[in-house]
A and B are shown apart, each in its own frame.
With several copies, the nearest count.
Chain A
Amino acid sequence: MAKQPHATPMLDQLETGPWPSFVTGLKRLAKDKDYVVDLLGHLEHSYTTRKGYWKGGTVGVFGYGGGVIPRFTEIKNEKGEPTFKDAAEFHTIRIMPPPGMHYDTDTLRKFCDIWEKHGSGLIALHGQSGDIMLQGCTTENVQKAWDEINEMGFDMGGAGPAVRTAMSCVGAARCEQSCYDEAQAHQKIVNQFLDDIHRPALPYKFKFKFSGCGNDCMNAIQRADMAVIGTWRDNIKTDDALGKKWFAKHGMNELVNDVIGMCPTRALQIKDTKDVRKDAHVSAVALNDSQSLEIDNKDCVRCMHCLNVMTGALNVGNDKGATILVGGHSHLKIGATMGTVVVPFISLKKDEDYEQLVELAQTMIDFFAENALEHERTGEMIERIGLVNFLEGVGLEVDANMVTNPRMNPYVRTDGWDEEVAKINAKKKAAA
């Protein structure tokens, strides 16, 4: 039994209502832990005064330079003693989850046991960067908890100017839209950068996110310095039986309004089946015995919409891989940036393909480490130096898929035009 709870009239109001209440959870923990009794008091104080009262500091584990987020209370009496002394330290340990955030209950229970023993018993599944966040630990206990977690086979996540914990969607494990093995990519890249995760020495944070298709269930484009988003190069695959089934259920109006009318590039048309074009880049799915939905795959930008609506009738192609976008970040200090295309397509079928992806990531990180200013994200760096300088720095070739529009201003130095064109033509020739 823990000590007497503080009065928490504000927090108590968060125990009503149908959604699961974290306050109820904290109170459950507070039954046995003075630590959490004081945490509740601390939080109630914030609710009352509408201010936060934690400050940072330096706490870590042996061998690593990051991964623990230290918190020390600032609610103190006149003598400078913590008002909520049992919760005077409330550090978080960030642990990297398995790709796709799959667990067996055994593992989850082990986390609970360790954290009940050494920490507050509060665990966030998961943080916005994907970490298992073990929240609430004293400085003294951090190392103990960590040792046990590490023994379980789990490793520390990122914090500070470091490569950060990555995230991958459920993807290949359950999703028909998946265009590559997200978990494999995720695992290989993180293993490559363990040192950069654990010993922050970059100009600023660098995040990876892996989504198996353009639906981007990991929000990679806006939140990752390097986003790997699945796509395919050949035609959309079609299944006539499922096409007919879909059409029988949904009818012509839905097909026109919800599918054809919403394709961003007018790549879809209804055709009498006999009139469907025979071109190599055209595919079609039957709607009934006489009509088909025709797809001009040259016009398709792999937005995923029609595949989402007519799932199974339309499926991603066979020549699978990913588009790589660089530079997503929140809005410090130039305003939010999205990742932009730097590799329109990288094949991700064989093991060697994944090695190539890792190499590419390494090149990007190296370039970032050498060229970014302090506290400058990749998106900010690219805006400062220009995309072309970045591409040249990491050895990637320009491609019209990288732009929404070619430049609209003449403010460019083109002395190298002729050599550039010669290079391109030589490559074209070599390829032909």
Chain B
Amino acid sequence: MAQPQMRKPVEYFLDNKKYLHPKFAANYGNWKTHDRPRPGVLHHISNTGDQVWSVRAGTQRQMDVHTIRLLCDIADKFAEGRVRFTIRSNIEYILSEESKVAPLIAELEKNGFPVGGTGNSVSMVAHTQGWLHCDIPGTDASGVVKSMMDVLYDEFKNEDMPNRVRLSTSCCEINCGGQADIAVIIQHTKPPKINHDLVANVCERPAVVARCPVAAIRPALVNGKPSLEVDEKKCICCGACYPPCPPMQINDPEHSKLAIWVGGKNSNARSKPTFHKMVASGLPNNAPRWPEVNEVVKRILMAYKADARPWERMADWIDRIGWPRFFEKTDLPFTKYMIDDWRGSRYNLNASAHVRF
């Protein structure tokens, strides 16, 4: 079957040695300490006495080649032609000399790349695909991120938070954006509308039935053709049926809302890692700038900023003050939808007389 003219791929996963900044290579595994001379700048010192300054700048992640070439030009000029990207799509320039820090920052900012995202700042939002590319999105990703970072621009450039703040957005309930201090995620509120004409051709029906977490889907004959039926009483509108069966339309301009979750934490520092928790929902999918979402995000951030103690992450802060006061301080309503009823829900109920007034 192989077409002879086709090139066979070379399968090999490269190491990163040749890409490392020379100082990184020389001091590999031998660093001693670091500090942050200013927001956006990390200063690492190795056991040999070597020093490097890393300057971090925000990007739009979804970059055109012109933007990338511009970033490369800057790297060639200041940073020995080496860069790295962080998990949050920030770019990092590595400098061997402190004297280059200020000029590099000036150059970046001149070109519209904000320097920051280090330490106790709000870093770039973890980003997904949305309308730009995904086949199942209820909203956009890049546009949501852009509108959020515009609002949080100063919080990116400064280190004024009690501890680092990590945000994510996700354009469907699958949550490719991941757990975060504050996460914005689509939350559907109506069961899928089924386009029965297409089901027979497009969907592997047993697979879809198996995919539903609450067993709300069953095979059915509709207009004499094999299709599917949803028990709307059972359906929790999660959208899990939609990827394997696109005729099960879950997205709706009106009824696909946005929910906000807080207190996700991946690091093991102090408390154990935790998942984020739902604290608001029902926000409109208001492209192109989602002001209602950003207002709530900002409100939560400001409450945290005002009240948390140094080093308390969002989750640690709420752990101390308690959920009743979280809702008080953020002026968000605690609704019945926030009371867990999924598997293991008993672990999330207050099984104690620890109560706050």
Contact = CB atoms under 8 A, between A and B. Distances in A.
A400 B327 contact: yes
A406 interface: yes
Interface string A288-309: 0000000001111111110011
A290 to B, nearest CB: 24
B58 A19 contact: yes
Contact of A124 (B61, B213, B214, B238): B61
Given A304-B269, A341-B355, A173 B257 contact: no
B140 A47 contact: yes
Interface string B54-75: 1000111111111111011101
B115 interface: no
A297 B325 CA distance: 12
Interface in A382-430: 383, 386-389, 391-392, 398-415, 417-418, 420-421, 424-425
Interface bracket on B = 35 or more
Given A332-B240, A387-B339, A414 B189 contact: yes
Interface in B102-144: 112-114, 126-128, 130-140, 142-143
Given A124-B63, A194-B13, A258-B311, A101 B85 contact: yes
Contacts of A13: 288-289
Contacts of B2: 62
A344 B355 contact: yes
A20 B132 contact: no
Given A103-B19, A413-B235, A128 B269 contact: no
B220 interface: no
B303 to A, nearest CB: 15
B238 A408 contact: no
A323 B355 CA distance: 8
A214 B351 contact: no
B68 A19 contact: no
A216 B89 contact: no
B277 A408 contact: yes
B226 interface: no
B321 interface: yes
A400 B9 CA distance: 46
A100 interface: yes
A264 B271 contact: yes
Contact of A128 (B8, B63, B94, B176): B176
A121 B64 contact: yes
B84 A100 contact: yes
Contacts of A92: 133
B16 interface: yes
Contact of A25 (B9, B60, B326): B60
Of A107, A174, A309, A398, most buried by chain B (CB within 10 Å of CB) is A174
Contacts of B305: none
Contact of A50 (B135, B253, B353): B253
Nearest to A392: B336
B213 A215 contact: no
Interface stretch (A52-60, A76-84, A268-276, A357-365): A52-60
A175 interface: yes
B159 to A, nearest CB: 14
A122 B94 CA distance: 25
Given A150-B10, A266-B320, A311-B34, A418 B282 contact: yes
A198 interface: yes
Given A47-B287, A312-B32, A341-B355, A218 B10 contact: no
Contacts of A323: 353, 355
Nearest to A232: B357
Contacts of A2: none
B227 interface: no
Nearest to A114: B65
Contact of A10 (B91, B288, B320): B288
18 contacts: A16-B150, A20-B113, A20-B114, A25-B60, A25-B67, A47-B288, A62-B7, A100-B84, A122-B63, A150-B10, A222-B275, A262-B311, A330-B175, A338-B275, A374-B207, A411-B236, A413-B189, A415-B237
